[in-house]
Amino acid sequence: MLIATSGRGHVVKHPSKPAIGTMLANLRRGNEHMALERQEEDLEGDWYIQVLYRDNNTYQLEYRDGVPAEHYQTQTVSQEKVLAALIGWATGKTNWRDGFMWNNIGELFTPSA
């Protein structure tokens, strides 16, 4: 099941493309965020994509593919590119990561030995 959550606590189960677009458009500058999470019984780990609208008018986009080591981040000023990535991720498209320079930030979430 796909679940969309806003930083203000608004939760939408099985969000439509317009609902995702509205949640993104309603983000207020100043570190407000939204997330899309995939929850399935047979899917282990954390699978999500999230966006943070920063004070400097940039969008910080992150996704995690199951485990902390597979956590990536990028930034853009384009709300349109962020929306395309969110919709692409939500609908299972394979090319939604294209057009971004992704950085693996998994070490920030992996306990040090």
Give 10-residue mean pLDDT values along the chain (113 residues). Answer: 92 95 93 90 88 94 92 96 97 93 86 60
Spell out the alpha helix ranges (H) of 10-78. Answer: 17-25
- State the pLDDT at residue 1: 92
Q: Please give the model's pTM, rounded to 2 decimal places.
A: 0.91
**Computed over its alpha carbons, how large is the radius of gyration of the chain?**
14
Tokens of 48: 């999500």
Select from 68, 98, 80, 85 the least CA-distant residue to 25. 80
Select from 80, 71, 24 the least CA-distant residue to 52. 24
Ordered strands of the 46-53 beta sheet: 11-13, 2-6, 32-38, 46-53, 59-66, 71-76, 103-104
